[in-house]
Structure 1
Amino acid sequence: MGVSGTGKTTVGRLLADALGVPYAEGDAFHPAANVAKMSAGIPLDDDDRRPWLDAIGDWLRGRPPGQGAVVSCSALKRAYRDRLRSAAPDAVFVHLTGERSLIERRMAARAEHFMPPSLLASQFAALEPLQPDEPGVAVEVSGSPETTAARALAALTDRPRPRHP
């Protein structure tokens, strides 16, 4: 999870490969109307995001029990993460974070992506970082995607697990 330009797709694929689980690109679940809206520089609102989050949730729900999966998705607000957790209660989030100037440079260097750098401000405005009671870890994105993926794997390994009776 995280704002556009943090490397969710690249790091997500690396994590899925390292974990030996399926990967899905969250952007692929957007309805055409969402892609058109973002391509036009118009931020999505909560109503736009609901069917997208539900489609991701359906994909997660369709995974075989115990298989695991990685899906890249902005999941900027807690309500969005709660919606995803309603479909996949064991979901753990990796919040990719970084300095805004770094993310802006990365977005400006991307070719052929529908999300224009002009929408980054709206994403930062909407972002609600993971809260202490949410299952997940925050990972800094400076450095290479491989470095970020290694940080994420280490953070996931080191994170406290909930105790079940």
Structure 2
Amino acid sequence: MEHHNPYLIEDTDELWLLHSQKEFRTKKREELESWRDMYMRCLDEREARLSAITANIKQSQDKSIPIRTTKLAYVDSVVKPPRNVARQQARNGIFDNRPVSTTAKLSALAKSGEAGKISVPNPGSRAGERSSNAASLKPKKAPLMAKTLSFFKNRFKR
């Protein structure tokens, strides 16, 4: 308001006094400084102090962040599936007991040019085996499910 109406600056000194005392209680006016000037000076000092603190914090965080590196798991060992997956694979007849080749072996094969000579089993050839094993191994119902199904059968007969 004072920017558009400069003649009000003389009359608003009391309002600036209230704002200055409310926000900056410990600050004192300098020589020949109005309350408005003091308020603006203290506000600028506060912003400068906060920006210095945030710059300091940002700098310390940048120093503390470690350099990220990529690490490979299972580089020199055989990859094992989780227990529940291995059980399901064994139950359904799709468990593959052959060890998985490591990345070093694969890169050596690729360099020697023998990577194209490796035969990969056709997944469709074992589809017949899976269906025959799955038919012979009927999944067993859980006891609570069997009890619930028998309850529903008895309930709807009435």
Please say whether Structure 1 and Structure 2 have the same fold, judged by a TM-score greater than 0.5.
Answer: no
TM-score, L = length of structure 1: 0.21
Q: When you count helix as a share of all residues, which structure comes out higher?
A: 2
TM-score, L = length of structure 2: 0.22
Relative contact order, higher structure (CA 8 A, sep 6+): 1
